[in-house]
Each structure stands twice: as structure tokens, then as C-alpha cells.
């Protein structure tokens, strides 16, 4: 994935979304296009126009954290966007040395043992949104991913390429936009991850919504929150979730779901557990050599 192109398009879209009045610029000539001019961003960031133009052309090599911070303030970047800009700069300066990074699709036996000991639904994903591992209730909760025609199991593929994804996620547009923004952030961290590049290419080719949202260059990092799911076996679920980065397993995140005690969702989870108790375990996630559909 072209880091320079990512930098160029990210800075341009951040500049285009700002209005002069947003940053205290009043008056001036009538504008042909929305957003700030390059010279205005340069002024706000305390740098020359020539230097800013070089940055917006995608050249972040040798740029200091202080300059990136000034640029983030000038463009009113959020904390996630500032982090994304830092990731892009890091990638630009590391070159192809970062190509060795490959998020795993396997977990250590001790981690699987911990998952299996949990009564709440829990699963593990990598930055590409691959479904890496889960406990029994977690696999039951995400059982549509394993019966989907789009394989290997990946939540982004399910959301954008399986028509059932729109039923499974009642807030499909919100989930879809967050998924795209999460993959955009991952691409900034690891632009040389070939399976990630292949996934983005596949989704861009086969989904109009993904392609449109990808072009917006939004970034998103999953935090704790709530999610609505319509499960084909037990109906509507209102779940709280907590993501936890696994420090011993770089690139992996464990997500644990819970429901209010005594709520309809808690009863539905209990029913889901009983429905899947006598079923054979779902197929373990394929390894990285599996062929995507």
C-alpha cells in the first residue's frame, strides 16, 4: 500500500473539511472549493507554504514529532487522527523494513484455555478483522461468519460481502463505517501487510459502500461500548463490550461481551448457549494460506 498516497489523501481530506471560520479566519476572497487553502494551513502550523506542500504531497520522511503536532493542531485532528498521522510518518521512515509484520491468525494454547474458561462470549481478532479464536459462546454468537459463503471468517467480509450482514447488524451503516475506519487505521500502522492490502482490494472491488467510505479517509479505534445484534437463532441482543489489546500477542485484541443480568439479552444468551451445547464445535479458523472467496 502506497504510504505517500495515504499521507497525501489524508491531509487533503482533513484540510477540505475545515471551514475558515472553524480556525478563526474571517473574510477573504470568495472560495471556489470548500476547505482551507494550503497557505492557510501552513500559516496555522507555523511553517512555510513550500514545506507544507511537500508534506501534502506525501513526503513525511524525517519530519519531527513537533512538526506533526503543529500540523495536527492546525488541521484540528482528533486524537485518533493524530495517532494515524504519526503511524503514517513512522511507516514512511521505516520503509519496507516493516514488511515483516504479519498479524497472526492463531492463538497460544494458554490463551485459548483462558477463553474457554470464560462464561461470557469472548473472541479474538487481529487488525485485519480476521476471526482468530473464541470460546464456545463467542463462536455461537458469531456462527453466521462460519456458515457464510465469504471465507475465511472475517467480520469485514461478512459486513460488506454477505447479505446477511445487514440483518445481523441492525445498525449496519454505523458498523460498516467503523469497520472501514478501523481498517484505514490499520493500513496506516502496517502498509506492507500484504493480506491486509488484498482484503482492502477485495472489499473495494466488490462493495460500493466500502469503496466510498474508504475514500473518506476516516480513522477509528475500537473502544468499549454497546452493540446491537440480530442473531438468527435467538433474535435481538443488546450487548456491552470491552476490547483488550493482548500485550503478549502483538496485533491481537480480545473482545468480551456482557448483558445486564436478568435482561432479555441475558436470557437470549443463555438460550444460545443451550442451543449450541450439543452441536459439534464450529470449524477452527483457517490459517493464512486459506484462499479467500
CATH number reported for the structural domain that contains residue 144 in this entry: 3.30.450.180
Q: Measure the CA–CA gap between 270 and 127, rounded to whole angstroms.
A: 30
pLDDT value for 278: 72
Residue 13 lies in a domain: yes
| 244 beta partners | 254
Residue 221 lies in a domain: yes
pLDDT value for 287: 41
Residue 23 lies in a domain: yes
Q: Measure the CA–CA gap between 203 and 292, rounded to whole angstroms.
A: 11
9/140 same-domain check: no
Residue 288 lies in a domain: no
Residue 289 lies in a domain: no
Average pLDDT value for residue range 249-266? 95
48/154 same-domain check: no
Q: Are 257 and 265 in contact (CB under 8 A)?
A: no
- Say what the pTM is: 0.87
254/135 same-domain check: yes
Residue 268 lies in a domain: yes
128/234 same-domain check: yes
pLDDT at residue 168 greater than cutoff 90: yes
Give the end of a domain, one of 81, 100, 119: 100
For residue 53, the domain's CATH number is 1.10.260.40
Residue 210 lies in a domain: yes
Tally of domains in the chain: 2
pLDDT value for 93: 85
Confidence tier at 290 by pLDDT (50, 70, 90): very low
47/169 same-domain check: no
Residues with Cβ < 8 Å from 223, sequence gap 6 or more? Answer: 243
Q: Are 139 and 163 in contact (CB under 8 A)?
A: no
What range does the domain containing 13 cover? 3-100
Q: Are 118 and 257 in contact (CB under 8 A)?
A: no
Residue with cell 442473531: 231
Give the end of a domain, one of 48, 70, 100: 100
Amino acid at each position: 500500500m502506497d504510504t505517500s498516497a495515504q499521507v497525501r489523501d489524508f491531509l487533503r481530506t482533513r484540510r477540505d473539511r475545515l471551514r475558515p471560520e472553524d480556525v478563526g479566519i474571517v473574510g477573504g476572497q470568495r472560495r471556489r472549493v470548500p476547505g482551507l487553502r494550503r497557505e492557510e494551513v501552513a500559516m496555522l502550523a507555523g511553517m512555510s507554504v513550500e514545506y507544507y506542500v511537500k508534506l501534502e504531497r506525501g513526503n513525511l520522511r524525517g519530519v519531527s514529532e513537533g512538526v506533526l503536532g503543529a500540523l495536527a493542531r492546525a488541521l484540528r485532528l482528533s486524537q485518533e487522527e493524530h495517532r494515524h498521522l504519526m503511524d503514517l510518518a513512522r511507516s514512511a521512515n521505516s520503509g519496507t523494513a516493516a514488511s515483516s509484520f504479519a498479524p497472526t491468525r492463531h492463538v497460544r494454547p494458554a490463551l485459548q484455555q483462558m477463553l474457554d474458561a470464560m462464561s461470557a462470549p469472548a473472541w479474538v481478532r487481529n487488525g485485519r478483522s480476521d476471526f482468530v479464536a473464541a470460546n464456545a459462546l463467542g463462536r455461537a454468537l458469531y456462527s453466521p461468519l462460519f456458515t457464510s459463503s465469504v471465507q475465511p471468517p472475517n467480520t469485514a467480509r461478512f459486513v460488506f460481502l454477505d447479505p446477511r450482514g445487514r440483518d445481523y447488524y441492525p445498525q449496519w451503516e454505523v458498523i460498516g463505517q467503523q469497520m472501514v475506519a478501523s481498517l484505514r487505521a490499520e493500513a496506516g500502522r502496517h502498509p506492507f501487510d500484504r493480506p491486509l492490502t488484498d482484503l482492502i482490494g477485495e472489499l473495494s472491488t466488490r462493495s460500493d459502500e466500502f469503496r466510498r467510505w474508504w475514500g473518506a479517509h476516516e480513522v477509528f479505534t475500537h473502544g468499549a461500548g454497546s452493540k446491537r445484534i440480530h442473531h438468527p437463532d435467538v433474535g435481538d441482543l443488546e450487548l456491552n463490550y470491552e476490547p483488550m489489546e493482548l500485550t503478549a500477542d502483538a496485533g491481537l485484541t480480545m473482545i468480551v461481551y456482557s448483558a445486564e443480568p436478568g435482561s432479555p439479552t441475558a436470557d437470549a444468551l443463555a438460550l444460545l448457549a443451550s442451543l449450541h451445547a450439543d452441536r459439534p464445535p464450529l470449524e477452527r479458523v483457517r490459517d493464512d494460506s486459506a484462499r479467500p472467496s
